[in-house]
Amino acid sequence: MTRGAARWFGIIPSLLYYGFWTMAAFGIFSFCRIENEREMLAPALSAGLLAVFLYWQIAPVLTASMGASLNLQKLIVYPISLDKLFAVEVMLRFFTVGEMLLVIAGAASGLLFNPLFGGWKAALWIIPSGLVFIFFNLILAAGVRSLVERGFKRKGMREAGMLAFVLICVSPGIILGLKIPFQKLTSYLPLHGLFPWAITAQIWMGIPTLEGGVAFAVWIAVAYRFARRQFYSALREDPFAGRTAIKPGKTGAFSLEVVFTLPNRVLPDPLAAMVEKELRALSRCAAFRLACFMGFTFGILVFLPQAIGHKSKSSFMGEHFLAVVSIYSMMLIGYYTFWNAFGYDRSAAQFYFAAPVPFRSVLYAKNIVAVFIQFIEVSLITVVYVFVPLSFRPFAVAEAFLVTAVSCLYVFAIGNITSVRFPMPMDPDRMARGASSRSKSALLMLFFPVAFLPIGLAYWGRYVFHSDLVFFAMLLLAGMIGAAIYWVGMESAVNLSLNRREEMIAVLSRTDGPLSIAS
C-alpha cells in the first residue's frame, strides 16, 4: 500500500465516525425544528444538553485512560507562559470533541428554524448562550482531564477509569433493554434548577432569568478556577512522582511465576524462553492488561443485554452469546497479540534478528502466547456465562473454544504478515496508538471479515441445514484449510522479515517527539 493510499484509507474511519454524528445532528435539527410543544421540548433540550455535558466531561476520562492526550509537560522547558499553555489545553478540549459541536449546532439551528421561537431573531440569545455553554464545557473538561491524568498515575486507577467509561457507554443499551419509559427516566435526571444545561435550555426556550444568569456566571468562575488549578498542578508535577514502579513478583496469594514458567514444562528452548519472556513482558504492560480486561468485560456488557432481551430460542445472540463474546474479545486484544506482535518490543525486536534463532520460531512463540491469552479470555467469559441468566449449555462452551481455535489460524496467518509488514511501536503504558496507525487500523477492519469468513460459513451451514453435524463438519474443514493458510502466511511473514528487517527495526525504534502523545 502506497503512502497516499494509506492516507486515504485512514480517512475512512473518520468519515464514518463524523458521518454518524452529522446524521445525529441532523436528526436533532429536525426534532427541534418541528416540535411545537414547549412542554415536550424544554425537558428534551435540557436532557440533550446534559448528555452533551456528560460526553464532553467523560471524553477526557477515555482519552486519558488510553493515554491519547498531548503531553504539554514537555513544553515547560521552553519560555512559554503557563497561561498560554492553559489556553492550548482548552483549545485541545475543543478539537477532541468536535462531534458535540455538531450536535449543539444541530439543536440551535433547529430552534432558529422553529416558528415557535420567533425565527432568526432568537439567534440573539440562542447563539451567545450556546457559546457560553461550550466555553463552560471546554474549561471544565480541561480541569477534568488534568485531574484524571494525575489520578491515573496511581496503580489501578486507569483500569478503574476505563471500567467506569465502559459502564457508562453500555448503560444506554441496558436502559433500553430494561424498557424504562422516557418520562420516568427524565424524572431521575437533574433537568431543572440552576444547572448549566438547564439554564441554557431555559435561555434557548426564550425564558431567561436573572438568577439563571448569575448561577451560570458562578458555574463558569468555579470551573475556570478548578481547571487552572488542576492544570497547573498537573504541569508542575514530577512526571515520575506517585507513579507506581513496576515490581514483578507475587500478586497476592497467587504467584504469576507459575504461569510464566509453565512453557518450560511443555516446550523446548528457545521456544520456551521466548514464550516465557513474552508472558512476563506482556503482564507488565498496563495497556495490555487493560485491553485484556476490556476483552472479556466489554463484550459481556455489550452483548449480554441483547442476549437476555431475546429469550426466544431462535435468538442468535441468546444461542451464540459465548462464541460471539469470545470472537469479540479476540478483536479487542488482537492488535496487541497478533496484528502488531512486535509493537511492545520496540527497538528490542532487533534482538530476534541478532540472536541465533530462526525468525519462524519467534513468530511461533508469539502465536503460542496469543493463543494462551485468548483461551484465558474465553475461560473467563465462560465463567461469567455460567452465572448469567442464560440457559447454560456445555455444548456452547466447546463450540466457543473450537470457533476461537479455528479463528486463530486465520487471524495469525494474516497477523504474522501484518506484524512484519506494518509494525508500529507501542507504549506499554497507553492504549492509544496515535493517528499514524489509523490507516493500519482501517486495514484491519478489512482483514477481520476475511479472517472470520470461514467461521461465518460454518454458522451459515448450520442455519441453512439446521444441523450441528454440518456446522462441525464445516468447522473441521475450515480448520484444515486454516492450517494450510497459516503455513502459507508463516512462510510469507518469514520471507518478508528477511527482506524488510531494516525497515521493521527502523519503524519499531521510533521514539516520541518533543510534544508526544502521552499519559
Partner 1 sequence: MSPAIVIRDLRKLYANKAAVDGLTLEVPRGSFFGFLGPNGAGKSTTIRMLTGLAPPSSGTIEILGYPMPGKELEIKRRIGLVPDESLLFDRLTGPEYLEFVGRMYSLDRKLAKERARELLDLFELSGDTKQIIGEYSKGMRKRVAMAASLIHSPELFLMDEPFEGVDAVGARLMKDILLDQVRKGATVFLTSHVLEVVERLCDHVAIIHEGRIIRQGTIDELRDSDDSLEQAFVRIVGYREHERLDWL
Instruction: Write out the residues near partner 1 by the rule CB under 8 A.
Output: 245-249, 264, 269-270, 272-274, 276-277, 280-282, 284-285, 344-348, 350-351, 353-358, 428, 498, 501-502, 505, 509
CB of 153 to partner 1, least distance (A): 15
* Burial letters 197-212, b for 16+ CB under 10 A, else e: bbbbbbbbbeebeeeb
Rounded Cα gap, residues 296 and 294, in angstroms: 6
**Contact (Cβ atoms closer than 8 angstroms) between residue 366 and residue 328:** no
Q: Which is nearer to partner 1, 114 or 519 (CB)?
A: 519
User: What phi and psi, each to the nearest 5 degrees, are found at residue 395?
Assistant: -60, -40
Q: Which is nearer to partner 1, 74 or 280 (CB)?
A: 280
Q: Cis peptide before 270, with omega less than 30 degrees from 0?
A: yes
CB of 135 to partner 1, least distance (A): 41
With a CB cutoff of 8 Å and minimum separation 6, the contacts of 499 are none
Residue 23: CB atoms within 10 Å: 12
User: What phi and psi, each to the nearest 5 degrees, are found at residue 182?
Assistant: -60, -45
**Contact (Cβ atoms closer than 8 angstroms) between residue 519 and residue 67:** yes
Q: Which is nearer to partner 1, 203 or 282 (CB)?
A: 282
- And the C-alpha cell for 441? 487500523
Q: Which is nearer to partner 1, 30 or 347 (CB)?
A: 347
With a CB cutoff of 8 Å and minimum separation 6, the contacts of 266 are 272
Rounded Cα gap, residues 431 and 437, in angstroms: 12
CB of 280 to partner 1, least distance (A): 6
In terms of phi and psi (left: phi > 0; alpha: psi -120 to 50; beta: otherwise), the region of 190 is beta
With a CB cutoff of 8 Å and minimum separation 6, the contacts of 258 are none
Q: Which is nearer to partner 1, 278 or 319 (CB)?
A: 278
CB of 285 to partner 1, least distance (A): 6
Q: Which is nearer to partner 1, 112 or 373 (CB)?
A: 373
CB of 507 to partner 1, least distance (A): 13
CB of 351 to partner 1, least distance (A): 4
Q: Which is nearer to partner 1, 211 or 257 (CB)?
A: 257
- And the C-alpha cell for 54? 456528560
CB of 345 to partner 1, least distance (A): 7
Q: Which is nearer to partner 1, 372 or 472 (CB)?
A: 372
DSSP calls for 173-228: HHHHHHT--HHHHHHTS--SSS-HHHHHHHHHTT---HHHHHHHHHHHHHHHHHHH
Q: Which is nearer to partner 1, 428 or 479 (CB)?
A: 428
Q: Which is nearer to partner 1, 351 or 465 (CB)?
A: 351
CB of 337 to partner 1, least distance (A): 15
Rounded Cα gap, residues 31 and 211, in angstroms: 29
CB of 286 to partner 1, least distance (A): 10
Q: Which is nearer to partner 1, 74 or 501 (CB)?
A: 501
CB of 271 to partner 1, least distance (A): 10
CA distances from 499 to 164, 353, 440, 502, 503 (A): 45, 12, 20, 8, 9
CB of 391 to partner 1, least distance (A): 42
Three-class SS state of 517 = strand
